[in-house]
Amino acid sequence: MQLKEKKSHSPKYLNLNSKKKPVEIGFLKKNLFFIVLFAVTFLVFGNGIGNDYALDDDFYTAGGNKLTTMGVRGIPQIFKNHTFYNNDGTGYSYRPVALATFAIENSFFGENPHVSHFLSVLLYALCIVILFSLLRKWFNSQGNWFSFFICLLFLVHPLHTEVVDNIKCRDELLALFFILLTFHALWKYIETKKLVYLILYPILFTAGLLSK
């Protein structure tokens, strides 16, 4: 009787332990492409985090925009006024979402070029990850490697160096970020028919338009 009880308990004990590793391995396997693309982005562009301000960065930061120096208190004014101003006081352009991100950054970190460069690389990495997620859905029959190599080529293309390394170009990164999220929300609506995605995608699209 005692031998039977040991036999009945031991398989259960072994099964509990055997479930841990497959879950961990499954998570890494499922998200491996995302992790690699995210890591490669920082590997390629991470050396720019240590850079200082460059030409035209004062359009948004580096003490050149009075609305940014106000921090989050300036956000209402950011959405009511022009984004840039000439020396004679005349304003032009309207990119409130981009300027608001610099105002928020200023409230938490002050005007720090290294933080700004880090956020640019982070934003670009998120764009790459979202792009891969979309391409994997759109080209599902081609397999994950097909979408992965497209994103990898897009990631390392020299044409994007200025956009990522120039702090001022955050407006372009934000525009791409929100437009990709727009496609993602729209596709989720097509897949699920949930009203929340139908409401979300025009909001994201508008945020993209107000970024650049």
Tens of pLDDT, residue by residue, the chain (212 residues):
444 444 444 444 445 454 555 555 677 778 899 999 999 999 999 999 998 888 788 778 877 788 888 889 989 999 998 888 777 777 788 899 999 999 999 999 988 999 999 999 999 999 999 999 999 999 988 888 999 999 999 999 998 899 999 999 999 999 999 999 999 999 999 999 899 999 999 999 999 999 98
pTM summary value: 0.83
d(CA 179, CA 182): 5
Residues 6+ apart with CB under 8 A from 41: 121, 124, 125, 128, 155
Summarised one tens digit per residue, pLDDT across range 101-132 is: 999 999 999 889 999 999 999 999 999 999 99
Which residues fall within 8 angstroms of residue 91, CB to CB, at 6 or more apart? 81, 82, 83, 84, 85
Give the gyration radius of the chain's Cα atoms.
Answer: 23
CB 75 within 8 A of CB 100: yes
pLDDT score of 6: 47
